[in-house]
Amino acid sequence: MTQLEAAKKGIITEEMKYVAREEEISVEELAELIKTGKVIIPKNINHQDCKPTGIGKKLKTKVNTNLGTSSDLVDSEEELEKLRVALEVKTDTVMDLSTGGNLDEIRKTIIGNCPVPLGTVPIYQAAIESKRKGVPVVEMDPDYLFEVIEKHGKDGVDFITVHCGVTQETWGRLEREGRELGVVSRGGAFLIAWMRYNKQENPLFEQYDRLLEIALKYDMTLSLGDGIRPGCLADATDRGQIQELIIIGELVKRAQEAGVQVMVEGPGHVPINQIKTNIELEKYLCNEAPFYVLGPVVTDIAPGYDHIVSAIGGALAASYGADFLCYVTPAEHLCLPTVEHVRDGVIAARIAAHAADIAKGIKSSWEWDLEMARARKALDWEKQIQLAIDPAKAREYREQRPPQEEDVCTMCGEYCAIKMLR
Amino acid sequence: MTQLEAAKKGIITEEMKYVAREEEISVEELAELIKTGKVIIPKNINHQDCKPTGIGKKLKTKVNTNLGTSSDLVDSEEELEKLRVALEVKTDTVMDLSTGGNLDEIRKTIIGNCPVPLGTVPIYQAAIESKRKGVPVVEMDPDYLFEVIEKHGKDGVDFITVHCGVTQETWGRLEREGRELGVVSRGGAFLIAWMRYNKQENPLFEQYDRLLEIALKYDMTLSLGDGIRPGCLADATDRGQIQELIIIGELVKRAQEAGVQVMVEGPGHVPINQIKTNIELEKYLCNEAPFYVLGPVVTDIAPGYDHIVSAIGGALAASYGADFLCYVTPAEHLCLPTVEHVRDGVIAARIAAHAADIAKGIKSSWEWDLEMARARKALDWEKQIQLAIDPAKAREYREQRPPQEEDVCTMCGEYCAIKMLR
């Protein structure tokens, strides 16, 4: 039974109890939110020792870390180190997006070391392994894609990105409008190339019931991917993007009716003044299903700093109601991230999520800031460091330039305002 | 004649012409905005070779860099290096906040090397030099403060922070309400200590006309400081803060009537959901005088990352109409920043300002992003690097992990979505 089916039957699961405690919300209210599809607990029945994590309305904003090999860089040790660091700085979930090396082996190793929900994008593996067997992506057998999805379910993957909304209708709208940068989603690009070559509908849309069946069996949450997400500000909120969102809204309903947990993925590159509309549209069109956004990236011109760019967009998106932020690292648009980039990306996204949670009125988030304010008032530096989102970094900076008097810092020294007015 | 007096008389100055060209706005419209106090061009008649810089309505959002020694760390070479780096990464203005060493000498050296508008906070020097002469801050002679202000004007300082709104009325309101963290502005703290000890009104308020006379003589812009700015989220937008803003609104009007250019300083620590109100209030209460915000810092718990925290707040504030962002470095709340911290702080603030300018509808800002989108579409990596806000950093990341094929990057390798759909 999935968490959604349980909620529909009025059953309170252990996972619901755990999440309710974590989120300081009554389990009855939580069960109602799950029942109506506004909250999910992505947890595959085969993922052992996975922390139950709630995503959605009235809960703390969650942060996802992408990792995985690429065709150019295959170093599974480095990816495991990224996993370790991401967990150390408290990512809520992880996605294995590997596209290089032995994909089954890498995924299984990551799942075995991942105590938080794990996501994948099965079409990567299906397309890449087809190609390795000498079958071009455009000639890939759709049945093979479903086999891979089944395998991910069996292995314990908690949520999968499936670009079911990339249909002939969506693609037609996009083509008629025209775009500066076209399609930047890899899954979306695989599917569009396949659809164009075969002059057929997207198999993930056409055989959606088959997908639901697999998802139901493992309580594997569907993350309906935005294959048409804008890759630059100029393409944001265009007719293609919103057409896909409308179709996703219909698919959300079908998933929920089938008892399958589901969330919606969102953009992408979006100017600050369009973020509110994007969040509200998802909420209206998809019946408040949890919204999982990538960024948003609020300017195209800052490669090397896209963790900051996305912290701006993510904080704003979450304050308007986005539930789940996919981190972006400083390496975005330039290269596969290093371990250090992963650390910086997770912390930036957590700052964005936390700042938004204060705006959302999450009590425990507010209390954390209040404790810090009181430690500052008390000039209690040890407490300030302990309360910092990254205590090691805060300590390093303070010790790098130690003050002459222990109760102040080298910024203001003896002219510390707080000390002066005591 | 100040820029404001010129505008009132219908005179178009060389500075107005320069700013109009830079901002792609007609000089007539600009002159009208200056005349009505909505735009300033802070430029002391004694600051040689200073780039005319417009701040305010309809113009690009500007970024300020704070630098200067502290009582604990006096290394004027390091401060000059900070100045060099801040200019290299294109700060629009600089403030010398030195509180350690020979303050006159440091200020003069910085002005001599500063081709952009320079600001100071004269009360620092007045209080510190009084103290050095054995006179406690609370016994400081107000005349000495005005002497220092006069000296800064003579030396060519383009704008000064003066906490004129910290009055007995403001302080009374703050006391009656109570605060978690009290006063965190150093200038505010000096004045309040002085006012409490002497049971007298703030001399910068009481002798405001004297201040206006000095400012008028040098066309030194007044930056009306927010001595009561909140130092933690829990203190944001309280009655003390807004009382000060009301008084500042009255002082803005008096300055403008006297022909003195003026802007308003704003918070500080503000939760995301209070930023819009803060910006709108300033615009309403101060007749749309340019608004210069510090951050805003949208969470208290991220020392070590306050440049990111402030990029979130700054982007949001500027998108709602703030005109001028004071950068915050990663060292904020921990120590005096290093040169590297200054670089990171300026770039983070510039990203925030630029992302907001897109939302504000600034044409040249939008075009920059469009050019980057087109370079991405063309897989033209050299162009992407040249267009990046920090080309050196973008190049470093890309070269750190070079791709096997020159036209992609190591994130997606051969599965680059843009390449696939060509």
From B233, B309, B308, select the one nearest B278 (Cα to Cα). B233
In terms of Cβ atoms closer than 10 Å to its own Cβ (0-12, 13-18, 19+), residue A207 is: middle
On whether both B326 and B377 belong to a single domain, the answer is no
Mean pLDDT of A146-171: 98
DSSP string, B356-390: HHHHHT-HHHHHHHHHHHHHHHTT-HHHHHHHSSS
Would residue A394 count as lying in a domain? yes
DSSP string, A223-285: EE--TT--SSGGGTT-HHHHHHHHHHHHHHHHHHHTT--EEEEE-SB--HHHHHHHHHHHHHH
Strand partners, A291: A264
**Which residue of chain A comes nearest to B406, CA vs CA?**
A72
Q: Which residues of A touch B404 (CB under 8 A)?
A: 71-72
- Write the pLDDT tens digit of every residue in A175-189: 999 999 999 999 999
Tokens 């509908």 belong to residue: A201
According to the model, what pLDDT value does residue A420 have?
86
On whether both A339 and A410 belong to a single domain, the answer is no
Query: Rounded to an integer, what distance in angstroms lies between the CA atom of residue B158 and that of residue B47?
Result: 7
B354 near B389, Cβ under 8 Å? yes
Would residue A15 count as lying in a domain? no
Does the CB of A73 have a partner CB in chain B at under 8 Å?
yes
Residue A422 — pLDDT band, cuts 50, 70, 90? confident
A232 near B372, Cβ under 8 Å? yes
DSSP string, A308-331: HHHHHHHHHHHHHT--EEE---TT
pLDDT of B378 > 90? The answer is yes
CB contact under 8 A, A410 and B368: no
Query: Rounded to an integer, what distance in angstroms lies between the CA atom of residue B12 and that of residue A126?
Result: 67
pLDDT of B422 > 90? The answer is no
The 10 Å Cβ neighbour count of residue A263 is 26
On whether both A228 and A195 belong to a single domain, the answer is yes
Does the CB of B372 have a partner CB in chain A at under 8 Å?
yes
Query: Rounded to an integer, what distance in angstroms lies between the CA atom of residue B230 and that of residue B233?
Result: 7
B98 near B107, Cβ under 8 Å? yes
Interface test with A, best of B312, B342, B418 (most A CBs within 10 A): B312
pLDDT of A67 > 90? The answer is yes
On whether both A74 and A152 belong to a single domain, the answer is yes
Query: Rounded to an integer, what distance in angstroms lies between the CA atom of residue B91 and that of residue A112?
Result: 48
DSSP state of A101: S
The token pair that represents A76 in the structure block: 């599974």
Averaged confidence pLDDT in chain B: 97
- Contacts of residue A369, defined as CB under 8 A and 6 or more positions apart, other chains included, come to A358, B232, B233, B234, B299, B300, B301
Would residue A357 count as lying in a domain? yes
- Contacts of residue A213, defined as CB under 8 A and 6 or more positions apart, other chains included, come to none
Q: How far is CA B119 from its chain centroid?
A: 9
Residue A414 — pLDDT band, cuts 50, 70, 90? confident
From B219, B294, B221, B276, select the one nearest B252 (Cα to Cα). B221
Q: How far is CA A104 from its chain centroid?
A: 22
On whether both A315 and A403 belong to a single domain, the answer is no
- Write the pLDDT tens digit of every residue in A263-311: 999 999 999 999 999 999 999 999 999 999 999 999 999 999 999 999 9
On whether both B65 and B142 belong to a single domain, the answer is yes
On whether both B388 and B407 belong to a single domain, the answer is yes
Would residue B15 count as lying in a domain? no
Altogether, the residues listed in chain A come to a count of 422
Q: Indicate the residue of A298, A368, A413 with minimum beta-carbon distance to B315.
A: A298
A319 near A55, Cβ under 8 Å? no
- Contacts of residue A132, defined as CB under 8 A and 6 or more positions apart, other chains included, come to none
A127 near A96, Cβ under 8 Å? no
Query: Rounded to an integer, what distance in angstroms lies between the CA atom of residue A414 and that of residue B228?
Result: 20
ipTM of the complex: 0.97
- Write the pLDDT tens digit of every residue in B116-166: 999 999 999 999 999 999 999 999 999 999 999 999 999 999 999 999 999
Would residue A117 count as lying in a domain? yes
- Write the pLDDT tens digit of every residue in A1-17: 999 999 999 999 999 99
Q: Torsion angle, CA of A323/A329/A330/A333, rounded to 10 degrees?
A: -100
According to the model, what pLDDT value does residue A217 have?
98
Interface test with B, best of A73, A121, A312 (most B CBs within 10 A): A312
CA distance B197 to chain A (A): 11
On whether both A340 and A376 belong to a single domain, the answer is no
Q: Where are any strands of DSSP class E within A109-248?
A: 118-120, 159-162, 221-224
According to the model, what pLDDT value does residue B123 have?
97
pLDDT of B420 > 90? The answer is no
Among B346, B361, B376, residue at a domain's last position: B361
On whether both B319 and B414 belong to a single domain, the answer is no
B323 near B61, Cβ under 8 Å? yes
The token pair that represents A379 in the structure block: 């000039």
Number of Cβ pairs closer than 8 Å across A and B?
A: 352
**Which residue of chain A comes nearest to B387, CA vs CA?**
A301
On whether both B321 and B379 belong to a single domain, the answer is no
On whether both A225 and A341 belong to a single domain, the answer is yes
Residue A65 — pLDDT band, cuts 50, 70, 90? very high
Does the CB of B19 have a partner CB in chain A at under 8 Å?
no
Q: Which residues of B touch A412 (CB under 8 A)?
A: 70-71, 99, 186
Residue B421 — pLDDT band, cuts 50, 70, 90? confident
Does the CB of A404 have a partner CB in chain B at under 8 Å?
yes
The CATH number for A258's domain is 3.20.20.540
On whether both A274 and A159 belong to a single domain, the answer is yes
- Write the pLDDT tens digit of every residue in B287-303: 999 999 999 999 999 99
- Write the pLDDT tens digit of every residue in A123-148: 999 999 999 999 999 999 999 999 99
Mean pLDDT of A381-408: 95
**Which residue of chain B comes nearest to A311, CA vs CA?**
B312
Mean pLDDT of B246-255: 98
Among B342, B361, B380, residue at a domain's last position: B361
Average the pLDDT over each of A26-30, A345-349, B331-335, B410-414 and give the range with the smallest value: B410-414
CA distance A2 to chain B (A): 34
Tokens 């400012």 belong to residue: B215
DSSP state of B61: P
CB contact under 8 A, A316 and B398: no
Q: Give me the number of domains chain B comprises.
A: 2
The token pair that represents A108 in the structure block: 């299984």
From A237, A227, A234, select the one nearest A265 (Cα to Cα). A227
Q: Which domain holds residue A369?
A: 364-420
Q: Which residues of A touch B302 (CB under 8 A)?
A: 351, 354, 388-390
Would residue A24 count as lying in a domain? no
Among A341, A361, A381, residue at a domain's last position: A361
Would residue B6 count as lying in a domain? no
Q: Indicate the residue of B100, B184, B369 with minimum beta-carbon distance to A301.
A: B369
- Helix axis angle for A272-285 and B339-360, nearest 10°, is 60
Would residue A221 count as lying in a domain? yes
